[in-house]
Amino acid sequence: MLAANRYGKSRVRLVKVSRLGDRHQLTEVTVNISLAGDFERAFTAGDNSAVLPTDTMKNTVYALAKDHSIAPLELFAMTLARHFVSTHAQASSATVTLLETPWHRATVEGKSHDHSFLRGSEERATCVARVENGEESWTSGIEGLVMLKTANSGFEGFPRDAYTTLAETGDRLFGTNLSGNWWYSEQTDFLDCRSRARTALIECFSRHQSRSVQHTLHAMAEEVLTRCPEVSKVHLALPNLHCLLVDLSPFDLSNENEVFVPVDEPHGSIEATVSR
Amino acid sequence: MLAANRYGKSRVRLVKVSRLGDRHQLTEVTVNISLAGDFERAFTAGDNSAVLPTDTMKNTVYALAKDHSIAPLELFAMTLARHFVSTHAQASSATVTLLETPWHRATVEGKSHDHSFLRGSEERATCVARVENGEESWTSGIEGLVMLKTANSGFEGFPRDAYTTLAETGDRLFGTNLSGNWWYSEQTDFLDCRSRARTALIECFSRHQSRSVQHTLHAMAEEVLTRCPEVSKVHLALPNLHCLLVDLSPFDLSNENEVFVPVDEPHGSIEATVSR
Amino acid sequence: MLAANRYGKSRVRLVKVSRLGDRHQLTEVTVNISLAGDFERAFTAGDNSAVLPTDTMKNTVYALAKDHSIAPLELFAMTLARHFVSTHAQASSATVTLLETPWHRATVEGKSHDHSFLRGSEERATCVARVENGEESWTSGIEGLVMLKTANSGFEGFPRDAYTTLAETGDRLFGTNLSGNWWYSEQTDFLDCRSRARTALIECFSRHQSRSVQHTLHAMAEEVLTRCPEVSKVHLALPNLHCLLVDLSPFDLSNENEVFVPVDEPHGSIEATVSR
Amino acid sequence: MLAANRYGKSRVRLVKVSRLGDRHQLTEVTVNISLAGDFERAFTAGDNSAVLPTDTMKNTVYALAKDHSIAPLELFAMTLARHFVSTHAQASSATVTLLETPWHRATVEGKSHDHSFLRGSEERATCVARVENGEESWTSGIEGLVMLKTANSGFEGFPRDAYTTLAETGDRLFGTNLSGNWWYSEQTDFLDCRSRARTALIECFSRHQSRSVQHTLHAMAEEVLTRCPEVSKVHLALPNLHCLLVDLSPFDLSNENEVFVPVDEPHGSIEATVSR
C-alpha cells in the first residue's frame, strides 16, 4: 500500500540580472519543487501519464523567472506553486522552497558599485510557499546565521548525575548557527516583516542575559512575535556551537575566559516552537 | 506559548575497539540524543533545575559504551534511550539516533588482517530508538547507498506542457543515493533483518525493468516487505542523480549511450512510504 | 633515500577574546605548523628523540596566544615560527600558516554591539611566516573572496578548433572565487598593506574592461603592485565560476543576459604571478 | 612582469559506459587540464588570439573519450596532454590530472551483476600526465585511502619542553587518510604497477611495528620501491587522524584502549619523499 509519496526537482540554481540603466541588480536563488497528488499509478504500474518530468519543473523556473521578479522570495515561490497545481490537475499540492544566496555591492572609491558584487555570508533567506487542496500558505525563514556573544551568558543550576563533569559557569561564550521559520496569520509585506524578524533575532540574542540556550531561544522567539504582529508562530533551532576554555594551567598560565578552542562536534541541539 | 521543544547532543563520535585475543573488532558510530518533556521553565524562566546538560549526555554515551556492545546498533541506541528516561523523570521521551561508519578488515597476503582496517563507502547503517511515554519503538535504515544501473531504465509516456523539452528515452542511466527507513511490527534479529532489507534493495534495484524512479522505488519497497515479514512499513528516498548524455554531434561523432556528464545539481527527488 | 620531509600540526583552531572594559574583541584563526630539519632518524630508525610532538605544537599555539596579540596575523605567525626554531635546534625551518575567520560586530539599535558578533563571509585573510636557516620571510594573502560582475566582461577573438563550440560574446557575467598571495620586499604595516591590497583587488576587478579572466587578473595584480610599494610579487588564482545563459527560445522567450544558471563544475582555472 | 602563468579547465566530470554484449563497464573520472606557454599577450594586452577556450578543453575530453579507453588512466591522460600541445603550438606544456571515482558491480544472488554498480569508498586512483617542451612524464597516485590500525603502534621517547603534556604510549590507535604519488623511471604496465604499489602500502601499514607516523611512512615508501622496480621515487602524506582515549575515571571505569573519540581537527601532518 502506497501510504505517501511526493516528488520534484531539487537544487535548481538561478541567477537573475535586472538592468535599470547602468544600475544592475543581482539575485541568486536555489529552488526546490515538490508535488504530491494522484501519482499512484506511476509507482504501482509504471504509468507515467501523470508524471510531469522534473526536467520540466526546472525549465519552468527559468521561464517564469524571465517575466517575474524574484523578490520578494515569497511571491515568486507562490507564483511557481500556483503554476504547477493550476496546470496539472493531478497535483493536489505543490511546495516550493527558495533559498537566497546574498550578494552585496562592491565598494569602489567609497561608493557602492553599479555592477560588481561580493558574495555575503553563509546566512540564507528562505521561504516555503505551498498550495494544498486549494489552500495557499507560506512560511519564511533564515538559515546559517552564525552568531557568538562573549558576555551575558551562563549555565548554572542544572541537575548532576553519575555522568556529569561539566562545571557551572556564569560567564561563557555562546555561539550558534541559527535556523528559524515563521508562519503568518495574514498576508503582509514580506520583505519588511523579514527585516523586522531578523532584527528581532539579532538584537535579542545580543542583549539577552542568557541563563541557557533554551532561555535565549524563547526570548528571541517572543521578540519576533512582538515585532511582527502578522506572525502567528515561530520555530527556532539554536545549536550550541561550543567554544571550550583551554586549560593553560600546565603552562603556569591563567585563562580568564580569553583563549578558547571552537569545536564543530559534538554540539548541543536546542529547538522550540513558540506561538501566540 | 511554548508549543513544542526538544534538546540534546548531536554528533557524538565514538570508536570502540574490542579485543578477542589478537583479533580486534572496530566499530565507529555517531550518536545524536534528543529529549522532550517537562522543560518549559528552562525556556520561560531560565530555570535549569531540570536541564540535564548535553555534556552529560555525551559522557553517558562513552560510559555506557564501555560495558555494552555497540552492535546491533538498535540495542545500544535503546540502552541509551532507556537510560535517559529512567534516570530523568522530567524527560517524557528520548530519541537516540545512531549512524555507523563502515570499516572493513585490510587484506594482507590474501587474508583478512587482525587489527588493520580500511574505511568503507559513504553508505551508513542508521537506526532510531525512541522511548515515549513508556512506549519503545525503533526504525532502522540506510543512508548514502549510491547505486547506478546502465540498462533496463527508461522514462517515456510522460505529459508535456509548454515548458517540456525532455526527450523520451527507453534507455538511460539511473543513478541514485538511497536513503531509507523501515518500521517493525515485532522485535526481531536486527542484524539479520538489516541484511535482508539491504539485499532486497540492491537486488531489486539491479533487476528491475524501470519505467521511472517512482516505479523502481515502489518495487524496492515491496521487496523489503516481502523479505522482511517483521517490517510493517518502508520509507525510501531516491534522488535521481542525472547522468546527461553528451551531444557529440558538433564533432561528427555519434554517442550511443556511451559518454555522459554526471551532475550533482539539479536533481530529481522522489520519495514514498509503502506499508502493508 | 629520504629526499625530503616535513611534519607538523594542522587545523589548530583558536578563538581569543580580548576585553577592553565592556568592549570585547573577538578573533578566530586556524593555525597550521610545519617543521623541517634533522628528523631523518625518526623516519629511518624509529628514533623519536628529535620529534617534538605535534600535540606540543598545538599547546604552544594556545599558550603563546595568551600573552601575544593575534593581530596582525603576520606577527603572531612569526612569533610561533621563531619559537619553534629557537627552542628546537633540530628544526632548520618552521612554516606557520594562519587563516582568519571574519567576525563582525552585531548592530543593535543602529550601534555596533560591545560583545555580540556575526560571522562574515567565506573570505579569509591568510598569511605564511617562515624561518628557514635563520632567514625570516612572509607572504600574506586572501582566500575565498567571491566576486561577480555583470557588465564590462567579454571573451572574443579566441582560436577555434574542431572541438570548439563556444560563442564569442562581448557581454557575459564574470564570477570568481579569488585566492591570492603577495610577497614583501621590506617589513611593513601588515594591516595597512592588506587593506590597500584588498581594495586594489576589488576596485580593479569592478572597473576593469575585461577581455578575459587573464586580462583582468593581470590588471588586478598590477594594481596591487601600484598601491603597495612594499610588495615585490603577487600571485593570483581566479577560477572562472561560470554563469551559463539559459536558452529560453524553446518557450518563445528571449533572454537578454537576464537569466543564468550558475554552475560549480566544470570551471576555468586561471593563475599567474606578477612581479616588479 | 608576468613571472609565471597557467590556465585550464578543472572538474570536468565524465562517465563512460562500455558495452560488451550484456556485460557493461562503468568508469567515472574527473579531469583537470592546465596549459602553459606563450600566453603573455592575453594577460598584458587582452589579446585572446592564442587562448584556446577552456570550454573547448572540456569538449575535447568528451570527444576523445568516445574513441579512447579511459583505462588505464595514465594513457588517457597522456592522450589528452599530447592532443593539446600538438594542436596548439602556443602551449609549451600541458598537464592533465585524472581522478577516478570507484564503482563496484552489485552482487545479485551471489553473482556480480552485468549492469548495476555500487559506488565505492572515498579512495581515488589519480594520475598526472605532462608534456613539457616535448618531454613526456607521468606520476600516478592514490588519494583518500583511510586506514586505521588498532595494534602495533606507539609513540615514545620524544623530547619534552615547557608546553608538552602528551603522555608516552606503547599502544595507541593509528588512523590516517593516505595521499601518495610515485614517479616512473621507465614505461610500465600502469594498472599492474598501481596494484603492486597499493598492496605494498596497505600491507606494510598493517604489519609495521610503528614507533611513529614517520617511521611507518618511511617503511611504506620503501615497500613500494621494493615491489615496483619501475618506480624511482615515492611521495607520501600521512595525516595523523587522532582517536583520543576517553577518560572514564570520573565514572569509576577503566578504559583499557577500548573507547575513543575520533577527531577531525586538529591533526598531525607528516609527509616525505623517498627515492632510490
b (16+ CB within 10 A) / e for A112-131? ebbbbbbbbbbbbbbbbbbb
* 8 Å CB contact of D5 and C59: no
List the single best residue of B29, B156, B212 to mutate versus A (max A Cβ within 10 A): B212
At D218-245, the pLDDT tens digits run 999 999 999 999 999 999 999 999 999 9
Any A CB within 8 A of D165 CB: yes
Nearest CA in chain B to A84: B161
Around Cβ B270, how many Cβ atoms within 10 Å? 27
DSSP assignment string, chain C: -EEEEEEEEEEEEEEEEEEETTEEEEEEEEEEEEEEES-HHHHHH---TT---HHHHHHHHHHHHHHS---SHHHHHHHHHHHHHHH-TTEEEEEEEEEEEPEEEEEETTEEEEEEEEE-BS-EEEEEEEEETTEEEEEEEEEEEEEEESSSB-B-S----TT--PPPBSS--EEEEEEEEEEESS---HHHHHHHHHHHHHHHHHH--BSSHHHHHHHHHHHHHHH-TTEEEEEEE--B--EEEP--GGGT---SS-EEEE--SSEEEEEEEEE-
**Dihedral class, residue A11 (left if φ above 0, else alpha if ψ from -120 to 50, else beta):** left
Which of D118, D243, D248 faces B15 most closely, judged by CB atoms?
A: D243
Q: Quick check: ipTM above 0.95?
A: yes
At C19-63, the pLDDT tens digits run 989 999 999 999 999 999 999 999 999 999 999 999 999 999 999
Count CB pairs under 8 A between chains B and C.
9
Which chains lie within 8 Å of chain D at 3 or more CB pairs, if any? A, B, C
Around Cβ B1, how many Cβ atoms within 10 Å? 10
Which of A165, A250, A264 faces D250 most closely, judged by CB atoms?
A: A165
For chain D, what percent of residues have pLDDT higher than 90?
A: 99
- For residue C162, the chain B residues in CB contact (below 8 A) are 251
Please provide residue C262's backbone torsions phi and psi, each rounded to the nearest 5 degrees: -80, 135
Q: Which of A228, A232, A220 is nearest to A275 (CA)?
A: A232
pLDDT at C122 over 90: yes
Which chains lie within 8 Å of chain C at 3 or more CB pairs, if any? A, B, D
Angle at which helices B190-207 and B73-87 cross, to 10°: 130
Any A CB within 8 A of C251 CB: yes
Which of C165, C264, C265 faces B250 most closely, judged by CB atoms?
A: C165
Say whether C144-275 and C7-133 share the same fold. yes
Cell of B103: 570499516
Cα C267 from Cα D3, distance rounded (Å)? 24
Nearest CA in chain C to B248: C163
Q: pLDDT at position C80, please?
A: 98
A9 catalytically annotated: yes
Q: How confident is the model at residue D71 (pLDDT cuts 50, 70, 90)?
A: very high
Q: pLDDT at position D106, please?
A: 98
B8-133 topology per CATH: Urate Oxidase (3.10.270)
B144-275 topology per CATH: Urate Oxidase (3.10.270)
Nearest-neighbour CA in chain A from C176: distance (Å) = 10
Which chains lie within 8 Å of chain B at 3 or more CB pairs, if any? A, C, D
Please provide residue D54's backbone torsions phi and psi, each rounded to the nearest 5 degrees: -65, -25
Kindly list the domain boundaries of chain D, sorted by start residue: 7-133, 144-275
At D95-150, the pLDDT tens digits run 999 999 999 999 999 999 999 999 999 999 999 999 999 999 999 999 999 999 99
**122-161 of D, contacting C, C-beta below 8 A:** 155-161
- Tell me which architecture the domain covering A7-133 has in CATH: Roll (3.10)
- Pairing mode of beta strands B91-101, B124-132: antiparallel
* 8 Å CB contact of A1 and B274: yes
Around Cβ A62, how many Cβ atoms within 10 Å? 22
At A96-152, the pLDDT tens digits run 999 999 999 999 999 999 999 999 999 999 999 999 999 999 999 999 999 999 999
pLDDT at C94 over 90: yes
Nearest CA in chain D to A265: D263
Which of D66, D149, D253 faces B255 most closely, judged by CB atoms?
A: D66
pLDDT at D87 over 90: yes
List the single best residue of C13, C215, C235, C238 to mutate versus D (max D Cβ within 10 A): C215
Count CB pairs under 8 A between chains B and D.
180
**186-225 of D, contacting B, C-beta below 8 A:** 202-203, 205-207
One digit per residue, the tens of pLDDT, for chain A of length 276 reads: 999 999 999 999 999 999 989 999 999 999 999 999 999 999 999 999 999 999 999 999 999 999 999 999 999 999 999 999 999 999 999 999 999 999 999 999 999 999 999 999 999 999 999 999 999 999 999 999 999 999 999 999 999 999 999 999 999 999 999 999 999 999 899 999 999 999 999 999 999 999 999 999 999 999 999 999 999 999 999 999 999 999 999 999 999 999 999 999 999 999 999 999
At C124-177, the pLDDT tens digits run 999 999 999 999 999 999 999 999 999 999 999 999 999 999 999 999 999 999
Q: State the average pLDDT over residues C13-20.
A: 96
Cα D204 from Cα D222, distance rounded (Å)? 9
Q: State the average pLDDT over residues D74-102.
A: 98
pLDDT at D20 over 90: no
**109-128 of A, contacting B, C-beta below 8 A:** none
> Which residues in chain B show pLDDT less than 50?
none
